[in-house]
Amino acid sequence: MSWQERIELNPEILAGKPIIKGSRIAVEFVIDLLASGWREPDVLLNYPGLTTEDIRACLAYAVSRLRAENVYPLKG
């Protein structure tokens, strides 16, 4: 499974932020929950429309964006 199968960018929903397909749940929101200490079972319990695959797709999307970043060292 690739994240492209579960994540979409639609300018009509949440101003084009990446969301889980078929929902209004932003990838950013899911990542924030996990970063705040929520465990996967907690997320799934509180957001029953989500699946384990959705959460993994959010993480995979985040990794792909980080890999695409260009870092330019500051010269001092």
pLDDT at 72: 83
Q: Which structure tokens are listed for 75?
A: 């010269």
The architecture CATH gives domain 3-68: Orthogonal Bundle (1.10)
Question: Taking 80 as the threshold, does the pLDDT of residue 5 lie above it?
Answer: yes
pTM, two decimal places: 0.88
Using one digit for the tens of pLDDT, what is the confidence trace for 13-70? 999 999 999 999 999 999 999 999 999 999 999 999 999 999 999 999 999 999 888 8
Domain ranges of the chain: 3-68
**Residue the block writes with tokens 């060292």:** 73
**Radius of gyration of the chain from Cα atoms?**
14
Question: Taking 90 as the threshold, does the pLDDT of residue 3 lie above it?
Answer: yes
